Structure 1
Amino acid sequence: MATLIYSATASLDGFIAGPGGDMSWLTPHLGDEDPTADRLMARTTALLVGARTFGGDDPNRGTEQEGAFGGQWSGPVVVLTHRPAAEAPGGVTFVDDLHRAVDLAREAAGDGYVNALGADVARQLIAERLLDEVLLFTAPVLLGDGVRVFSHPGGTQVLLDRVPGETAHWYRVRY
């Protein structure tokens, strides 16, 4: 069965997007060789994304790097949304139920990774105890405001264990 991972790049103060979902801050930090990112890409066989992430600000919009993973992604995408589009682009499935979205993404991923993109999707996955792993990259920038890596109104503690043999920022979720 596929592993469900939430991966994101965050500012040092814990934001994955700036105010209004702005992603332009990330552009100067893309493109460097990163063996961890390469391993993640090689293992990822499906994406599970929220509607805001799917239709949001792409710092590479209008360039050959537009799209997930700097334009390198070409596999199946499951979009979790309350307002599915009438027509889906090729390889994209719109779903309005979290459990159905996870089932479809895991089926598409086979034995690979389903990479969950978007803080709200990650929050929902954790709340339902569906998320297996978290991988957090950091960028040397402070944003001060925006979309947090993880947010849970009222707070909650999610315990994580390091994945053996991986970076200090790749964890298994402990339920």
Structure 2
Amino acid sequence: MGKVVLDVSVSLDGFAAGPRVRPEEPMGDGGERLHEWMATDVAVRAATDARVGAAVIGRRTFDLGLKPWGGTPWPGVPSFVVTHRVRADLVGDNGGTFAFDGLESAVRRARAAAGDKDVLVLGPDVARQLLAAGLLDELHLHLAPILLGGGTPLFADSHAELIQTDSATGSATHVRYRVA
């Protein structure tokens, strides 16, 4: 069975999005710069894409990401949106399905859908909830060489012991941790 993995780009000052997140700027002011590494560190991105079997997504990330993604974050890959506002499944324009559920049920369903592949987590709030609930297996951080000075903190008020398992450098520093 695959792992539940938070794979996220983060600024050196700990923000997963810039200030003033809004529909017209879903990554906040300057937040898109967090993903610039994807254009040059192609092997890192390809490895992530190859292992994703399902996604668990926070509701706010879903609301902000649906339009830019044009469907699910990975075409054809089932995505489970953690929410208290459950609704009928939504089929994205790219063939992927969004299902809406609570935290533990979303993870259980995503693990089943992913099979031997990993469940990737999108959204800082849901990532913190998974970490606190003991449902997060690994963190794959892509440290972008920028300071945003504000925005959405990735690990605000979170506590965990992490064991580094890998690191690589490119246009960002890529570090992997296992949650102890």
TM-score range, shorter chain: 0.7 to 0.9
Residues 57 and 102 of structure 1: CA distance in aligned 2, closer, same or farther (over 3 Å): closer
Residues 84 and 46 of structure 1: CA distance in aligned 2, closer, same or farther (over 3 Å): same
Match of 2:136 among 105, 115, 131: 131
Residues 89 and 67 of structure 1: CA distance in aligned 2, closer, same or farther (over 3 Å): closer
Match of 1:51 among 43, 52, 59: 59
Instruction: Judge conservation of contact 1:8–1:136 (CA < 8 Å) in 2.
Output: yes
- Tell me the matched-pair count: 163
Instruction: Judge conservation of contact 2:72–2:78 (CA < 8 Å) in 1.
Output: no
Match of 1:40 among 30, 48, 51: 48
Matched, 1:146 2:154: no
Match of 2:176 among 164, 170, 174: 170
TM-score of the superposed pair, with normalisation by structure 1:
0.81
Q: Which has the higher contact order (CA 8 A, sep 6+)?
A: 1
Match of 1:119 among 116, 124, 136: 124
Residues 36 and 57 of structure 1: CA distance in aligned 2, closer, same or farther (over 3 Å): same
Cα offset, 1:130, TM superposition:
0.9
Cross-structure match for 1:98 = 103
The Cα RMSD (Å) is 2.3
Cross-structure match for 1:18 = 18
Residues 33 and 54 of structure 1: CA distance in aligned 2, closer, same or farther (over 3 Å): same
Alpha-carbon displacement from aligned partner over 1:55-113 (angstroms, at most 9, x marks no partner):
1157x83xxx75666xx543110000111334522511011x21101100000100110
Cross-structure match for 1:160 = 162
Residues 31 and 44 of structure 1: CA distance in aligned 2, closer, same or farther (over 3 Å): same
Please list every run of 5 or more consecutive structure 1 residues that lacks an aligned counterpart in the other structure.
Answer: none
Alpha-carbon displacement from aligned partner over 1:12-42 (angstroms, at most 9, x marks no partner):
2110111233416344514223322221111
Q: How far apart are the structure 2 equivalents of 1:68 and 1:35? A: 22
Secondary structure of 2:20 counterpart:
helix
Secondary structure of 1:99 counterpart:
helix
Query: 1:169 is matched by which residue type in structure 2?
Result: V
Q: How far apart are the structure 1 equivalents of 2:16 and 2:71? A: 16
Q: Which runs of 4+ in 1 moved over 6 A?
A: none
Instruction: Judge conservation of contact 2:88–2:100 (CA < 8 Å) in 1.
Output: no
Please list every run of 5 or more consecutive structure 2 residues that lacks an aligned counterpart in the other structure.
Answer: 169-173
Secondary structure of 1:131 counterpart:
coil
